[in-house]
Amino acid sequence: MPAIPQRRHWLLAAAVAASLGLGACSSVNDSARNALYAVTPYKIEVVQGNFVSKEQVEALKPGMTRQQVREILGTSLLTDVFHSNRWDYVFTIRRQGVEPQQRRLTLYFNGDVLDRFEGDAMPSEEEFVATLDTRRRSGKVPQLEASEDQLKKFEPKDSDKAKDKPTEGEPASSTAPLPAAYPPLESR
C-alpha cells in the first residue's frame, strides 16, 4: 500500500509542473504577441473603382445626357445588363493603418437623360487627399528667417574677397566666354 501515496506525489508534482509550464507559455505568448504587433508585414494598398468627389456630384444636374455624365464622372464601374438605365459608381480603398473606405453613387436614367442620383456623402478632393496622407506632422513650423548674426557666419573672409577681385589688366571672370553656337553632337 505504500506505493499509492508516492504515486499521488508524482501526480501532484506533474500537475504543478504542467500548470507552471502553461503559465509560462501564456506569458511568452503575450510578449510574442506584442512583438508581432510592433512588427507588421507590408500589406498592399487596394484601390478599386471610381473616386467621385463632392465637386463632381455638385456638377450633376437632372436632364444631362449620358455623354455629359460620362465626361464628368468617367465610365461607371458597374453596368447591369438587366438595368440599362442605372449606373453604379463604387469606390473602395484599403490601406495599412487606415480604416477601409467605401463609397457608392447610383445614377438613374430615363432613356438618354439623367433622371436622378443617390448615394453616400462624397468628400471633396482636398478632404480625400488629406485622408490619404498618413504621415505624422509635428505641428511646428520651422523658422525660415535668419538673423544678422546667423548670416554673418556665411560671409566670405577678407582673404577670400581679395582672391575674387580682378587685378588690373585681368578680365573680370577667369572662365572663358561661352561659344555663340555649339557643334552638332554627330557628324553628318
pLDDT digits (tens, 9 = 90+) for 96-126: 777 888 999 999 999 999 999 999 999 888 8
pLDDT digit string, tens, across residues 45-89 = 888 888 899 999 999 999 999 999 999 999 887 777 888 899 999
How many CB atoms are closer than 10 A to CB 78? Answer: 14
Residue 163 has pLDDT above 80, yes or no: no
State how far the Cα of 101 lies from the Cα of 92, in Å rounded to an integer. 5
Higher per-residue pLDDT: 72 or 131: 72
State how far the Cα of 52 lies from the Cα of 127, in Å rounded to an integer. 12
Task: Compute CA distances 20 → 12, 81, 88, 161, 164, whole Å.
Answer: 12, 65, 59, 80, 81
Q: Can you list the domains of the chain with their CATH numbers? A: 46-132 (3.30.1450.10)
Are the CB atoms for 109 and 64 separated by under 8 Å?
no
C-alpha cell at 77: 464601374
At 71 the pLDDT is 92
C-alpha cell at 16: 504543478
At 114 the pLDDT is 94
Residue 91 has pLDDT above 80, yes or no: yes
Residue 155 has pLDDT above 80, yes or no: yes
